Structure formats: structure tokens, C-alpha cells
A and B are shown apart, each in its own frame.
Chain A
Amino acid sequence: AQRVTQPEKLLSVFKGAPVELKCNYSYSGSPELFWYVQYSRQRLQLLLRHISRESIKGFTADLNKGETSFHLKKPFAQEEDSAMYYCALKGSWDSGYALNFGKGTSLLVTP
């Protein structure tokens, strides 16, 4: 079964502090994982994908197959990072490659 778990509903950090949003997954095949972000009153948008090994807005995420994790990290949080973050696992062809989303983590960065 495909499952994505985000254990924290809410994460509050101070500006300038490091932040880590946790994501664990279960998948029998080779996973393709994504982080999506939704800022207030904006549409859901892709933040980064593991296959690209990219860093977007200072965020990085490393796929750890041994721990089945794909945690999102940023060394110095900014107030504009406050948003809802979703970890997502791409499904197989028989699901139309639909995304399986975690329940989301609301990140609040306070001054």
C-alpha cells in the first residue's frame, strides 16, 4: 500500500532558526517524491522533487530509502516561508500517476 505520513500538523519556529518538516512513506517500488507548498490564498504549487536534487527557496530534501523518509529542510527560516506544506508520493500507472498526499504540515515562522 502507498502511504505518506507527515507526523506534525503544526510546526512553529522563529525567524532564522533551522526548520525540518518530516515525511515518511511506504511504497513497494522505486518512489518518486515531491514537496508541494500552499501559501495563504494561493494555489498549491510544486516546491521540489527528489529526482531533480534541487534547492528551491533555500529548501532541500533528501530521499533516504533506508529510513523511507523525505524530510524537507531549510537552515534559516524566513517569515515568508509560513505556509502549508504537503509531501506527496507519485502513484503507479494504474492510478494515472496520481499523487498520494500526506495530511500536511502548517509551518509558522514568527519574528
Chain B
Amino acid sequence: DVKVTQSSRYLVKRTGEKVFLECVQDMDHENMFWYRQDPGLGLRLIYFSYDVKMKEKGDIPEGYSVSREKKERFSLILESASTNQTSMYLCASSSTSLPRWTDTQYFGPGTRLTVL
């Protein structure tokens, strides 16, 4: 069974703290993604990675950075957390080597981050 796991389900941090969100997938997928999910805004792409040590900005990268040192792990970093980064963060992974009719992104359970 496909598995994408995230290190925390709930996290509470203070403004200015450095925050690390971890994501691990066990499917040997090349692509990994970080989205944030907000009511009324849907999911928005923060960063993605298509290979180890490779990273690309998504639609809303400001205030975030990422790290991918191993194929199975993709970390999202909030260098200095702010209240407007309070959100649900979803990690996902996908493979580019699967046939199109089976292609999909697999999502983790999400981390609900509250910044006070």
C-alpha cells in the first residue's frame, strides 16, 4: 500500500521560530510536492522537487524553503514563522515512470500548523 507520512499532525509555534515539516514516502517516487490548504483558497503549491537535491518554486514560495537530501524525504522549512503561515500543509509524491492511466499524486495526512 502506498504511504506518504508527515512528521506531525498538529504543530503550534511562536512567531519568529524556525519550523521544520518532514515528509517521507516509501514508493520510490521521483516527484515530491508541498502544498498549503486554506478554506476558500483550495490547495496552493509552495515548492516541488523532481529529484534528490533538486527544488523548484511553486506558486507561493515566499517565506519557505525546502530540502531534499534523500529521495524518500522532502522537508519544508519556515525560516521565521509568521501568523499568516497558519495553515494545513500537505505533502504529496508522484512518479513520472507510471502509465498515464495510473498516474496520480499521493497525499500525506497533513500537518495543521498554528503560529501564535
Q: List chain A positions with a Cβ less than 8 A from chain B.
A: 6, 9, 32, 34, 43-46, 49, 51-52, 86, 90, 95-104
Contact between A98 and B107 (Cβ–Cβ < 8 Å)? no
- Most chain B CB neighbours (cut-off 10 Å) among A43, A45, A96, A99: A96
Contact between A96 and B48 (Cβ–Cβ < 8 Å)? yes
A99 shortest CB reach to chain B, Å:
6
For B92, list chain A residues within 8 Å (CB): 99
Contact between A101 and B43 (Cβ–Cβ < 8 Å)? yes
For B105, list chain A residues within 8 Å (CB): 46, 99
Task: Tell me whether A95 and B48 are in contact in the complex, defined as CB-CB below 8 angstroms, given that A32-B100, A34-B104, A103-B40 are known contacts.
Answer: yes
Alpha-carbon separation in the docked complex, A90 to B96 (Å): 12
For B109, list chain A residues within 8 Å (CB): 43
For B110, list chain A residues within 8 Å (CB): 43-44
Complex A-B: 19 CB contacts under 8 Å? A32-B100, A34-B104, A43-B108, A44-B43, A45-B107, A46-B104, A46-B105, A90-B103, A96-B31, A97-B94, A97-B96, A98-B48, A99-B33, A100-B45, A101-B35, A102-B42, A103-B40, A103-B41, A104-B42
